[in-house]
Amino acid sequence: MRIGHGYDVHKLAEKRKLIIGGVEIEYSLGLLGHSDADVLLHAIMDSLLGAAALGDIGKHFPDSDKRYKGISSVELLKKVADILDENNYIIENIDATVIAQKPKLAPYIEKMKEVICDTLSISSNQLNIKATTEEGLGFTGDESGIAAHSVCLLNSVRDAFYVNPTVRDCKSCGGCQNKI
């Protein structure tokens, strides 16, 4: 079992769409960034890549690369899912929190879950999304930006089927006949 943590933050700006969790949210401001600046998906991607020890989104999708200018973070999340598959990782669960004074995100959370679960091919009981404020404190509290944290657990297919060649007689279950 491998654990990963992701964190992301983006500044709120005029003349930008607010997209969080792959869902466009009606609000007067949006998040500023090279891509669509989806703070939640960025945190989730970083937690997944971190758990797999495969770097971060900056390594895989650098903001200096014009291919990623304005790209949907859902498309990037699909690429992260492919990277995990290529490296034989299975997502156990993801728990994420969005920190924003405004707008209220509760009406959008179920749609966010649907988008993320569909993109990662996981079930809804493997993903939890929460939203909170910081009671007017800090850059999220004064509505300068929005932040997100994500924690995930991954399993490696390789680890699930690992047999230690030095073990001659497995006695862990009491009835195993696995002998080398």
- Is 92 annotated as belonging to a binding site? no
- Is 161 annotated as belonging to a binding site? no
- Is 109 annotated as belonging to a binding site? no
Strand 127-132, strand 89-99: pairing: parallel
- Is 114 annotated as belonging to a binding site? no
- Is 134 annotated as belonging to a binding site? yes
- Is 166 annotated as belonging to a binding site? no
- Is 34 annotated as belonging to a binding site? yes
- Is 132 annotated as belonging to a binding site? yes
- Is 149 annotated as belonging to a binding site? no
Q: 108: exposed, middle or buried (C-beta count within 10 Å: 0-12, 13-18, 19+)? A: buried
- Is 98 annotated as belonging to a binding site? no
Residue 29 neighbours by CB under 8 Å, 6+ apart: 12, 13, 14, 16, 18, 143
- For the record, the structure tokens of 8 come out as 């992301």
- Is 57 annotated as belonging to a binding site? yes
- Is 10 annotated as belonging to a binding site? yes
- Is 133 annotated as belonging to a binding site? yes
Task: Report the C-alpha gap between 74 and 113 in whole angstroms.
Answer: 12
* Positions at the binding site for a divalent metal cation: 8, 10, 42
* Positions at the binding site: 8-10, 34-35, 42, 56-58, 61-65, 132-135, 139
